[in-house]
Amino acid sequence: MTGIHRSALAADARRVLGRSFSGRCIGRDEDDIALANKQHAATWPLPLPELLIACRTQQDIVRAFEFVRDKGVSFSVRSGGHCFADLSNRGEVILDCAGVNSLEIGEGRQVVAGPGVLSGDAIATLLNANMTLPVGGCPLVALGGLSLVGGFGLTGRSQGLLSDRVSAAHVLLADGRILECRADRHADLLWAITGASPGLRHRDPASF
């Protein structure tokens, strides 16, 4: 890595993010860097990043992104880490959103979920409310990534894709702002991040 030694990068991240950062910064030379490895990847073993930033809140994600942006280092973002193309486990830094995993059922039976909610946990919770979502067969896939790549599942023929159910999303822009995207606000961005899903206009929502 150019200009920054691997152990120095983690120390620098801790210094910049400070005590108000509720997540963890794990350097490549630390034992806990093993958390960077995920089961579901095409390449095994995966190359270890120089730094894993494990976020626990939305604000953690914003600050972690600003850190890698200002440092100019390569990075990837992952919600659960299940990616056969290994796209969520590449770069000098991994921004891990697995800890941002709250799930609530709001008014109108709308599901509000963090990107790190695993599909198996979501289904188990929703079944208690006599609800479900069209997800795949692997319970370890997180909703954040799944909802942005279609979300193919066993009920797809009758219920469509998970992306068809997304009615709103908080989107982090390159300048550090977060936009709330929905049908009446930044609808073009919502349409784009869900793969230009044709179902956005008529499906009942799940909000991520």
User: d(Cα 75, Cα 52) in Å, to the nearest integer?
Assistant: 10
Please identify, among 96, 130, 147, the residue that sits at the C-terminal boundary of a domain. 96
pTM over 0.75: yes
Note the pLDDT of residue 41. Answer: 64
- Is there a single domain that holds both residue 90 and residue 110? no
Same domain, 60 and 126: no
How confident is the model at residue 78, as a pLDDT? 92
Q: How does pLDDT run along the chain (208 residues), one tens digit per residue?
A: 444 444 699 999 999 999 899 999 999 999 989 888 776 666 667 788 999 999 999 999 999 999 999 999 999 999 988 887 778 888 999 999 999 999 999 888 899 999 999 999 999 999 999 998 998 888 889 999 998 888 887 887 888 889 888 999 999 999 999 999 998 999 999 988 887 555 544 444 444 4
How many domains does the chain contain in total? 2
Q: Are 11 and 62 in the same domain? A: yes
Q: What's the CATH number where 135 sits?
A: 3.30.465.10
**Range(s) of the domain holding residue 178:** 103-207
Same-domain status, 110 and 188: yes
Report DSSP letters for 91-119, one per residue: SSEEEE-TT---EEE-GGG-EEE-TT-BH
Q: What amino acid is encoded at 51 in this protein?
A: L
For residue 42, what pLDDT is reported? 66
Bond prior to 45 in cis (omega within 30° of 0): yes
Which pLDDT does position 206 carry in this prediction?
46
